[in-house]
């Protein structure tokens, strides 16, 4: 191996290692509240990765992913509260539930393209809180009041080895582990055959079909997997916040998720993390800037980000790295063509 190839191979690994160490050290270094915020960032990142699988990689749009987040959250709440299932078991169960529901929703929804699919998912997103408030289901969902759940304690194992973890710290690590699992799973999925099939369907679906890719199956599967990710995020979110209620899962959540992946960067795994940071922290910043019209400031941030980085933070980062690597060359600068 030449020196050059060793360098290019090990730089991203080095970066990941540094980030990993920082992530593990974090809860011991910052306040409880910040740790909680970072837990939420990771939860959003999982949800955004789910939405990105659908929108970025397979080119379908969803304006209603908040509904799957809600489903995952309520799954956890109902399993814990009504059936006494331990918190850690509810997460994969919620994921499985959302996988099935997402797949079943995807099957007919496939017939719709673009805007029409957007409307269908939007309808789902709007319907969810209304369904959760519906009197007939109150026995299970707790109606408008919702369900309160207990915060899990760190396993007894930790104090025994001399590392006492308070619930917030334990929750952080539990979420960190879950996030790592989901991201590694996602990476393998998207960088392999499945990812290529999805991109083929997104870019040239007729050609993809002609090449033997079963469009219908892949698209529904993509929907299911995407719902599963968001459901897992919802489950973790419910555990973190210790509370589920219909008004926590309005269409606004679905819109924020969409904003998150666009600003973070579509069709990108790191984009989920950038997007999560944006939707968690920028509203706080906006609130600092103006108590009277915080959402206006948030909107301004959104516009600025889109103007400066139309392909998201991840896209901009990629461009910067590419430009840094291409300093030797001197390309002629002709912008894209217009075709009549």
Please enumerate in sequence order all residues whose Cβ is within 8 A of that of 79, keeping only pairs 6 or more positions apart, or say none: 85, 89, 90, 93, 94
Nearest residue (CB) to other proteins, 292 versus 328: 292
Give buried/exposed letters for 262-279 (b at 16+ CB in 10 A, else e).
bbbbbbbbbbbbbbbbbb
Please enumerate in sequence order all residues whose Cβ is within 8 A of that of 240, keeping only pairs 6 or more positions apart, or say none: 36, 39, 40, 43, 171, 175
Quick check: 25 binds other proteins (CB under 8 A)? Answer: no
Quick check: 190 binds other proteins (CB under 8 A)? Answer: no
Residue from the set 300, 316, 317, 318 that interacts with other proteins by CB under 8 A: 300
Q: Which helix (H) or strand (E) holds 85?
A: none
Nearest residue (CB) to other proteins, 212 versus 331: 331
Quick check: 330 binds other proteins (CB under 8 A)? Answer: no
Neighbours of 28 (CB within 10 A): 10
Instruction: Write the DSSP symbol of residue 55.
Output: I
Closest CB 189 distance from other proteins, rounded Å: 22
* Measured distance CA(84)–CA(69) in Å, rounded: 21
Nearest residue (CB) to other proteins, 124 versus 149: 124
Quick check: 212 binds other proteins (CB under 8 A)? Answer: no
Phi, psi of 147 (to 5 degrees): -130, 135
Please enumerate in sequence order all residues whose Cβ is within 8 A of that of 6, keeping only pairs 6 or more positions apart, or say none: none
Nearest residue (CB) to other proteins, 92 versus 283: 283
Quick check: 325 binds other proteins (CB under 8 A)? Answer: no
Quick check: 116 binds other proteins (CB under 8 A)? Answer: yes
Q: Between residue 69 and residue 108, which ones bind other proteins under the rule CB under 8 A?
A: 108
Point out which residues bind other proteins (CB under 8 A).
55, 61, 108, 111-113, 115-116, 118-120, 122-123, 126-127, 130-131, 133-134, 206-207, 210, 255, 258-259, 261-263, 266, 292-296, 298-300, 302-303, 306-307, 310-312, 331-332, 334-340
């Amino acid at each position: 191996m030449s020196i050059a190839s060793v360098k290019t191979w090990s730089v991203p690994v080095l970066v990941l290692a540094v980030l990993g160490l920082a992530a593990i050290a974090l809860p011991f270094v910052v306040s409880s509240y910040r740790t909680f915020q970072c837990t939420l960032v990771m939860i959003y990142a999982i949800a955004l990765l789910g939405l990105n699988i659908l929108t970025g990689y397979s080119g379908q749009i969803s304006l209603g992913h908040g509904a799957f987040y809600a489903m995952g959250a309520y799954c956890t709440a109902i399993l814990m509260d009504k059936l006494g299932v331990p918190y850690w078991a509810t997460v994969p169960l919620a994921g499985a539930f959302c996988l099935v529901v997402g797949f079943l929703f995807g099957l007919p929804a496939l017939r719709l393209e673009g805007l029409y699919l957007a409307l269908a998912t939007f309808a789902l997103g709007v319907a969810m809180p209304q369904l959760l408030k519906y009197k007939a289901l109150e026995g299970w969902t707790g109606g408008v009041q919702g369900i309160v759940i207990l915060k899990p304690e760190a396993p007894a194992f930790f104090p025994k080895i001399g590392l006492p973890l308070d619930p917030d710290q334990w929750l952080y690590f539990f979420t960190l582990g879950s996030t790592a699992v989901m991201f590694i799973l996602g990476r393998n999925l998207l960088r392999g055959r499945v990812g290529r099939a999805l991109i083929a369907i997104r870019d040239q679906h007729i050609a993809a079909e002609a090449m033997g890719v079963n469009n219908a199956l892949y698209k529904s599967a993509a929907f299911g997997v995407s719902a599963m990710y968001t459901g897992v995020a919802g489950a973790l979110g419910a555990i973190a916040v210790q509370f589920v209620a219909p008004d926590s899962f309005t269409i606004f959540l679905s819109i924020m998720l969409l904003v998150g992946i666009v600003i973070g960067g579509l069709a990108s795994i790191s984009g989920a993390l950038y997007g999560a940071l944006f939707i968690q922290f920028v509203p706080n910043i906006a609130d600092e800037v103006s108590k009277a019209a915080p959402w206006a400031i948030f909107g301004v941030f959104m516009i600025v980000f889109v103007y400066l980085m139309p392909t998201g933070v991840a896209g901009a980062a990629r461009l910067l790295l590419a430009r840094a690597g291409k300093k030797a060359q001197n390309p002629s600068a002709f912008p894209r063509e217009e075709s009549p």
